[in-house]
């Protein structure tokens, strides 16, 4: 082959290589674009899933806040009910004490001052029943007199058997 043939052959080979390189680059770019599109779609789906999870968390947070608010309202209502009951209990105790003062005032055996309060150091039955559970047990009851009607009303020996119920817990010791 002559020189012109060689030059043409070299030019053709260079052109073929250039065309192959251009085609390879174009195909590579297309593949990269397609891969980028797939990756972008995956990222969008992930973002949509994250947004959904965020909405669910916001909804749970809103429910928790509403539950907390409802608990506050319930607590306030219960506090007011407790105050009302305490007030009613105090009023009932006041009425009870007033009735006891009136009864003491009417009773000829009980000495009272001008306000209706007892003067003597007599123990009242209601004071014994409201004593704390840790208080020492009352002394053993003395035998009841033959005529219980003749015994004084405030005789502690007469009421000792009625002070507090005894419970048998099965251990052999009564409490």
Read off the tokens for 106: 């009417």
Could you say which DSSP state residue 134 is in?
T
Give the distance, in angstroms, between the CA of residue 158 and the centroid of all CA atoms in the same chain.
49
Could you say which DSSP state residue 162 is in?
G
Cα separation, 67 vs 65, in Å, equals 5
Extents of the domains making up the chain: 51-130
What is the predicted pLDDT for the residue at 115?
A: 74
pLDDT digits (tens, 9 = 90+) for 123-166: 444 444 444 444 444 444 444 444 555 555 555 555 455 555 55
pLDDT digits (tens, 9 = 90+) for 90-127: 999 999 988 988 888 788 887 877 776 777 654 444 44
pLDDT digits (tens, 9 = 90+) for 27-77: 999 999 999 999 999 999 999 999 999 999 999 999 999 999 999 999 999
Give the side-chain half-sphere CA count within 13 A for 121: 0
Record the pTM: 0.39
């Amino acid at each position: 082959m002559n020189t012109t043939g060689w030059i043409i052959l070299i030019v053709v080979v260079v052109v073929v290589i250039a065309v192959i390189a251009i085609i390879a680059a174009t195909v590579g770019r297309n593949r990269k674009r397609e891969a980028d599109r797939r990756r972008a779609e995956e990222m969008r789906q992930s973002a949509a899933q994250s947004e959904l999870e965020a909405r669910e968390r916001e909804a749970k947070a809103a429910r928790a806040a509403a539950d907390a608010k409802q608990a506050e309202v319930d607590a306030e209502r219960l506090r007011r009910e407790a105050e009302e009951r305490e007030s009613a209990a105090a009023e009932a105790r006041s009425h009870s004490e007033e009735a006891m003062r009136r009864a003491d005032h009417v009773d000829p055996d009980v000495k009272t001052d001008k306000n209706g309060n007892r003067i003597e150091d007599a123990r009242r039955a209601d004071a014994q029943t409201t004593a704390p559970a840790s208080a020492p047990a009352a002394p053993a009851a003395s035998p009841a007199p033959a005529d219980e009607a003749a015994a004084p009303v405030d005789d502690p020996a007469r009421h000792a058997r009625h002070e507090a119920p005894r419970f048998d817990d099965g251990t052999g010791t009564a409490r």
